[in-house]
Structure 1
């Protein structure tokens, strides 16, 4: 079962919101992770490349910095089933392209801008997540 961590979750949410606000203020860009990461590859090698790279390195480096600062590792249970992980990654990539954004772009940034399209996308993400968790935990018993 998942641990209940309201303080850590609140701090994480505030930091995500702050990073989205700062990126909008400094770069005039929405903090959509799929769009930022996708534009690290050609043909998008432009003047904003370094800021996109710094943003993605910050996402990867934050857990490492936390581990160094606190001495406690950040662990996430991940499946060892490689074919399942490949299919899951492809589905997430397809979904973010098909939906014109990912959860960060739509849910964090889009909802705060009162975007109806982002509201529909977020409701779709959440409904899919609820159904997936129900199936995996209660039907498949995993």
Structure 2
């Protein structure tokens, strides 16, 4: 991530908000990724289709954006498998404990003026800021 890009950021935010609103208004569902994925295996037959379509759209969007000429990052920086697994487990545990993920709380919950989502969003944003501070200023990363 480098440089300030307000127009693409605003456009992306508007698209995310619009998609979340469409899912809420059209199906009465919250566009939280952990809830969409978590409910996929236990979903009733009619409830599975929208979840699969939602996930297919998430995976197809970067490819379509790149195909249309948009810059697509090369990938994530290398990390050890243990670090990736540990991080994934912590994220999974956090989404269970917090009753949702960053997209569910940060986008949908805040839009619905949920106090629980405001608290969750404040906690993960503060944790992210602390992590960056520790990495850059204490650990020398």
TM-score scaled to structure 1, two decimals?
0.92
Deviations 1:83-112 (A, max 9, x none): 101100111011001100011111111111
In structure 2, C-alpha distance between the alignment counterparts of 1:92 and 1:71, rounded to whole Å: 29
CA distance in 1, matches of 2:74, 2:8: 14
| 1:113 maps to 2:115 | no
Superposition deviation, residue 3 in structure 1:
2.9
Change (3 A) 1:126 1:73: closer
Structure 2 match to 1:101: 100
| More divergent stretch after superposition (69-78 vs 87-96) | 69-78
Contact 1:111/1:118 (CA < 8 Å) preserved in 2?
A: yes
Counterparts of 1:2 and 1:75, CA distance in 2: 14
Q: Which runs of 5+ in 1 are unaligned?
A: none
Q: After the TM superposition, which parts of structure 1 deviate over 6 Å for at least 4 consecutive aligned residues?
A: none
Alpha-carbon shift at residue 79 of structure 1 (Å): 3.0
Q: Superposition RMSD on alpha carbons, in Å?
A: 1.5
Equivalent positions of 1:72-91 (< 5 A) are: 72-91=71-90
